[in-house]
Amino acid sequence: MLSEGEKSPTADQVQFIRQASDNGNVRCKTALGGLYESGRGGVPQDFAKARSLYESVAAVDGVGYERLARMAEEGHGQVRNDVEARRLYQLALTNSDSDKSKLALARLMEEGRGGPQDLFGAMMYYVEASQHAGDVAWKGLQRIRAQRPVLTPEQVQRYNEAWGDTSRKSLNRTALDIEIALNKQIKRGSASKPVTLQVQGLSGSNVPKILLIESSGNAEVDQAVVTAFGQYRFPAEPLLQAGQDSWSSERSLKVGLK
């Protein structure tokens, strides 16, 4: 299925999208709306038809509200309206987990557009949307952290819960990538058991401390895993409570096993 940013579809693809849209296919309705909005694929630009198609799917697919929000924010076929954009992005997130909506809503909250400035709300959406250090969400989070907003203990706890969830997902992806990469380089049977590491998050830094908890039985395999994980960076930083100096999580990697 075509998505934003892809090259213009062929005439046959447009015909398929139209037919599927007419038959009620939600994704094709959204795709056809995108063609009308952008005027691609030989489809004449028509903001009214684009809006109508997005509205027809919004109740069942958050992408519909997301597209409507962007149209309001960018003034496509209407006067730019940040208030409406902010409302629609929030609606989009009631039935989707779109990082695009989170980023857009976080930016509006951070800048105080379409409603009151809400730095904590923006922080929450940025940390949920961040995939790796240095991405757009991470940079937004750093801008807010630099302002040193005063947070309640409850807000710190909520932030850390979101941070922990994001970091665990990121660690899982990294561990899998490292396993795949190293198992192409290291001979099977080189290790007798998985390598177990502890990954610590330290306050004020997204650079983890990597500790070897249990050896694979092969020092070279252990070192290869520790070195590979040493390139990892948390997608955000924890807000540690007074007296707490680190956050940690363990990962076992199956490298060089039979």
The predicted structure's pLDDT at residue 15: 96
The average pLDDT across 123-145 equals 89
CA distance 114 to 135: 24
Q: How many residues belong to the chain? A: 258
Q: How does pLDDT run across 77-97, given as a tens digit for each residue?
A: 999 999 999 999 999 999 899
CA distance 111 to 252: 42
CA distance 253 to 222: 10
For residue 190, give the nearest of 250, 257, 252 by alpha carbon: 257
Q: Is 29 exposed, middle or buried (0-12, 13-18, 19+ CB in 10 A)?
A: buried
**Residue 59 CB partners (closer than 8 Å, separation 6+):** none
Instruction: Give whole-number Cα distances, 147 to 112, 121, 127, 140, 184, in Å.
Output: 15, 14, 16, 11, 45
User: How far does CA 60 lie from the centroid of its chain?
Assistant: 21
Q: How does pLDDT run across 33-90, given as a tens digit for each residue?
A: 999 999 999 999 999 999 999 999 999 999 999 999 999 999 999 999 999 999 999 9
Q: How does pLDDT run across 189-220, given as a tens digit for each residue?
A: 999 999 999 998 877 788 889 999 999 999 99
Residue pair 194/215 in contact (Cβ under 8 Å)? The answer is no
Residue with the bigger pLDDT between 178 and 133: it is 178
The predicted structure's pLDDT at residue 235: 82
Ordered by start, the domain boundaries in the chain are 153-253
Secondary structure of residue 253 in the 3-state scheme:
strand
pLDDT at 1 > cutoff 60: no
Mean pLDDT over each residue of the chain, to the nearest integer: 91
The predicted structure's pLDDT at residue 145: 85
Strand partners, 212: 197
